[in-house]
Amino acid sequence: MTHRSSRYFSVAVGLLSSFLLLSAPDPLGCQEAEYDIKAEFLERFTRFIEWPSDSSVQDQSVPFVIGLFDNPFGDYLASMAKERKIKGKPVEIRLLHAPDDVLGCNMVYISASIADDDVAAILKLTADRSILTVGDAPGMAEKGALINFYTTNDHVRFEINKRAAERSGLKFSGRLLNLALTK
């Protein structure tokens, strides 16, 4: 194995290990731990996605904005946002109340508790924008969310809607696509 392929293999194994550790089963069945894992995934997704050059993500004078419709993360995501940067920028968490609130966000988390009409309106607003939409309900990827969480055998997994991702202008790393169920 050459030095280059050895290094690539090491990076790939490290990446895969990170995702596998985050999707480890929760021995206590604790929902809080599930949302801690999902919060970690939200941050890690951004490491493998490029936003277009005309996106606010490229403007270092404004924070990276994560919008939440409902907050099942408790204080974990907010604590993470204080400690870490995304794309070299401070992170701002916004609690969203109406579909139009997604404008100005770089990422939007859509929980299962959101009404179907609101989900449709949110996904319509974000369909052709460089906003990473992350759903957390069965069928959300089919409806147009770029990424959707699902659980199988007590493991948190994710699926990616490749067509919606392409329309958004966001570029998903092949490594991320390889770890996901793609739609």
pTM, 2 dp: 0.83
Can you give the pLDDT at residue 30? 56
**Ramachandran region of residue 158, left (φ > 0), alpha (ψ -120 to 50) or beta?**
beta
Per the model's pLDDT, the better-predicted residue between 116 and 15 turns out to be 116
Angle at 87 between CA 171 and CA 77, to 5 degrees: 105
Q: Give percent above pLDDT 90 in the chain.
A: 79
Q: Evaluate if residue 13 carries a pLDDT over 50.
A: no
29: helix, strand or coil: coil
Determine whether 124 is exposed, middle or buried from the number of CB atoms within 10 Å of its CB (0-12, 13-18, 19+): exposed
Query: What is the pLDDT at residue 175?
Result: 94
Determine which of 17-31, 120-134, 167-181 has the lowest per-residue pLDDT on average.
Answer: 17-31
pLDDT digits (tens, 9 = 90+) for 158-183: 999 999 999 999 999 999 999 998 87
Q: Report the residue count for the chain.
A: 183
Q: Which helix (H) or strand (E) holds 172?
A: strand 171-172
Exposure b/e, 18-52, CB count within 10 A at least 16 = b: ebeebbeebeeeeeebbbbbbbbbbbebbeebebe
**142 contacts 161 by C-beta, under 8 angstroms:** yes
31-63 residue pLDDT tens: 679 999 999 999 999 999 999 999 999 999 999
Tokens found for residue 163 = 């067509």
Q: What DSSP string runs through 70-102?
A: S-TTTTHHHHHHHH--BTTB-EEEEE--SGGGG
**Is residue 103 over pLDDT 60?**
yes
Cα–Cα distance measured from residue 124 to residue 36, given in angstroms and rounded to the nearest whole number: 28
CA distance 116 to 40: 26
Domain formed by 3-182, architecture: 3-Layer(aba) Sandwich (3.40)
The model's pLDDT over 141-160, given as tens digits with 9 standing for 90+, comes to: 999 999 999 999 889 999 99
